[in-house]
Amino acid sequence: MMERCGGSKQENVSMRRKIIFSLCSITLVFLAGGIYIIVSIEDTTSTMNTLVQLHRAEILREHLLTQVKIVQFDISQGGAYGTGDAQLFTRHINEVKKTAEACFFCHHSERVMVKLAGLQNRIDRYTSAVSDLLPGKVSAAGLQETRDAALTMGREIIEEIRKTILLSDRMLDEKTASSLRKVKMVKGILYTLVLVGPLLAGVFAYVWLHGITKPVHHLLYATRRLMGGDLAYRIEGMENEFGEVAVSFNEMAESLKDHMLRIEESEKKYRILFESAGDAIFILDGEGDDKGRIVEANRAAAEMHGYTADELRTMTIMDLDIPEDAMKAPGRLHSVLAGQRIKVEVNHRKRDGTVFPLEVSAGLIELKDHKYILAFDRDITERRLTEETLQRAEQLRICGELATCLAHEIKNPLACIKIAIEIFHQLNSLPESERNILGKVIDEIGKIELLIKDLLNFAKPPKPQLIEIEVNKILSATIEFSLKHPSFSRADERKIIVAKDLYEPLPLVKADPLQLRQVFMNLLINAADAMPDGGGLTVSSACNVLCDSVEISFCDTGKGIETALLKKIFEPFFTTKAKGTGLGLAVVKRLIEQQGGSIEVRNNEKRGASFVISLPVNGEKGQV
């Protein structure tokens, strides 16, 4: 291993030297080419500037020649000068002076400068002589002589300027041709550098980059295979630094493969625990706009709520809460996200609309810098039923003790009082007003006796005498008897109409006919009390084949029962009537349960409430 590492180190150094040498060579070539291009551009620019200046001088000479010719024309056309002519003549003379002076600001050779100096002297003398032609300078007798001298001097200057122009043109043409040849040569060299330089650099770079990109592509291909899940792929046949990278890559792939196997085993184990848990487990999103969204749910959660796991993952936890608990959900989420671990009881709604209680235990977890909420939901329906059963048992025990005490302490003295009042009530000597008062007392004593009887029946009901009976016969007889009750015998608009819808033939059931009659009578009277303004009462019977039971329904058209009171309607001493004892429905429920049946209450869709009794056909369900 040490020898291999040492050899690789030498190869690495050699490869680095090659790369550095190649980069330095390419840099020097491009640097030399760049310097040559800069020098050539500067030289060409300087030459072109010189040519421009020479051409400008040539133009000035041409302009000077023209100005002198104009002055000569003015002189030849002379005679008597007026004020306007004098001003124009003066301006032409000044133009000649200005143009002549401008010629000396240009760059010329020494020989040309000597000629220009001589020409400048002549022009100065010429402009001086021409200026004498202006009015007031010479006498009329000497004017013609001065004019002739000026014309002669002007012709000499024109000839001298022409010679200078011819000489300058010839020199300028030679210099221009030489400069153009030089520019053409430099342009050719520049084109060659521009075209051939990058081509050579490209070829040179391709050779070296091919040697680098080939192993890089091999590494990239191996990386993609690794990303695709092919952890068994290995790199072979690479040297230098890439050889070391290949060795490290293969070791990484092997380590990653082992790590992934361990992760898969761990994930499989926790997935089995997650899916096989008896309680519902939810993982909720704790951040962003999706706060409360169900990220994951186990099989127990899906079965508990009647949804599939995929359907639950499209919902939020508030979608499962009943409206009252959904309003409190943001507060619970906030508490968990603040680091608290909560344990609360809420009510969820199944897919079919069934509401059931849950005990929720939730805490905060963080995965990949994202906050989630882990919630464990336990269905406590059975626990609630057990608690309610224990509560009812305790109530029954208390009622039994209370009923026993009342029976011993009140019943006998109350009977004596009733007998004594009835004796007084039968005396003929009593006034009618006092007799009415005694009658009301006897009625109130009867109510107290009824209360004591209800307490005794609830606390220690008589053991049912079960025999096979026809429910429809007992139901019909009870309805006929109840119609004589004052609640049903109203003759005004508050009359209650009773309708029967009895299924025939119903199977026989085992029940106590007397207790069953008492139950039916209580429910009929209870329905009549729920319709003080009159209405309709439908009594029906049916056979439930699936449950192997007979169902008897009492449906009224009263105001119905408040939703919050539905669960309390069968509790002892609970009543919504001003003069009720709260034991009537409690006794009904106990009598039905003693005969293996059940009773439930629900509000109708339109109006009113329905009490539904279910009695098993075999008479063996839930007997106590």
| pLDDT band per the 50, 70, 90 thresholds, residue 229 | confident
Order of all β-strands in the sheet with 294-297: 294-297, 280-285, 370-379, 355-367, 342-349
Give the dihedral sign, CA 401/405/411/412: positive
- Convert the pLDDT of each residue in 289-345 to its tens digit: 888 899 999 898 898 999 998 999 999 999 999 999 989 988 998 899 888 999 999
d(CA 610, CA 539): 10
For residue 565, what is the DSSP state? Answer: G
String of b and e for 115-145 (b: at least 16 CB within 10 Å)? bbeebeebbeebbebbeebeeeeeeeeebee
- CB neighbours (10 Å) of residue 103? 21
Residue 370, classed as helix, strand or coil, is strand
Residue pair 485/528 in contact (Cβ under 8 Å)? The answer is yes
**Which pLDDT belongs to residue 1?**
37
**Which pLDDT belongs to residue 491?**
64
Decide the pairing of beta strands 496-501 and 535-544.
parallel
| pLDDT band per the 50, 70, 90 thresholds, residue 13 | very low
In a 10 Å sphere around its CB, with 0-12 CB exposed, 13-18 middle and 19+ buried, how is residue 273 labelled?
exposed
d(CA 367, CA 48): 74
Q: What is the CA radius of gyration of the chain?
A: 62
**Which pLDDT belongs to residue 415?**
73
- Convert the pLDDT of each residue in 599-608 to its tens digit: 999 998 888 9
d(CA 265, CA 282): 22
Secondary structure tally for the chain: helices H, strands E: 15, 12
Cα three-residue angle 485-531-540, rounded to 5 degrees: 75
Residue 205, classed as helix, strand or coil, is helix
Of residues 612 and 242, more confidently modeled: 612
Instruction: Determine the distance from the C-alpha atom of residue 376 to the mean position of all C-alpha atoms in its chain, rounded to a whole number.
Output: 26
Summarize the confidence of residues 447-459 as an average pLDDT: 67
Residue 348 has pLDDT above 90, yes or no: yes
* CA proximity to 181, closest of 38, 58, 51, 55: 51
Q: Which of 89-98, 396-405, 589-598 has the lowest mean pLDDT?
A: 396-405
* CA proximity to 92, closest of 112, 64, 114: 64
d(CA 336, CA 348): 19
**Residues in a beta bridge with 434:** none
For all residues of the chain together, what is the average pLDDT? Answer: 78
One-letter amino acid at 176 equals: T
Residue 583 has pLDDT above 50, yes or no: yes
Torsion-angle region of 65 (φ positive above 0: left; ψ -120 to 50: alpha; else: beta): alpha
* CA proximity to 279, closest of 357, 355, 375, 344: 375
| Total-model pTM | 0.37
Q: Which long-range contacts (CB under 8 A, 24 or more apart) does 88-96 make?
A: 89/130, 89/133, 89/134, 90/134, 92/67, 93/127, 93/130, 93/131, 95/67, 95/70, 96/64, 96/67, 96/68, 96/71, 96/123, 96/126, 96/127
- Convert the pLDDT of each residue in 110-165 to its tens digit: 666 676 777 777 777 777 777 777 766 666 667 777 777 778 887 887 887 787 77
Residue 425 has pLDDT above 50, yes or no: yes
| pLDDT band per the 50, 70, 90 thresholds, residue 95 | confident
**Which pLDDT belongs to residue 461?**
62
Q: Which of 392-401, 410-419, 472-481, 602-611 has the lowest mean pLDDT?
A: 392-401
d(CA 246, CA 463): 90
- CB neighbours (10 Å) of residue 441? 16
For residue 25, what is the DSSP state? Answer: H
Of residues 36 and 241, more confidently modeled: 36
Residue 331, classed as helix, strand or coil, is helix
One-letter amino acid at 608 equals: G
Q: Which of 165-169, 489-493, 548-552 has the lowest mean pLDDT?
A: 489-493
**Residues in a beta bridge with 371:** 366
- Convert the pLDDT of each residue in 256-299 to its tens digit: 878 878 877 877 777 777 777 778 899 999 888 888 899 999 89
d(CA 99, CA 403): 144
* CA proximity to 466, closest of 507, 511, 508, 509: 511
d(CA 409, CA 613): 36
| pLDDT band per the 50, 70, 90 thresholds, residue 552 | very high
| pLDDT band per the 50, 70, 90 thresholds, residue 11 | very low
Residues constituting the chain: 624
| pLDDT band per the 50, 70, 90 thresholds, residue 33 | confident
| Strands, E assignment, 368-522 | 370-379, 467-469, 496-501, 509-511
d(CA 161, CA 515): 153
- Tell me which H or E stretch contains 555: strand 549-556
Residue pair 584/569 in contact (Cβ under 8 Å)? The answer is no
Q: What percent of the chain has pLDDT over 70?
A: 81
- Tell me which H or E stretch contains 364: strand 355-367
**Residues in a beta bridge with 551:** 542, 614
Residue 481 has pLDDT above 70, yes or no: yes
* Domains located in the chain, CATH noted: 2-205 (1.20.1440.210), 277-379 (3.30.450.20), 385-457 (1.10.287), 465-616 (3.30.565.10)
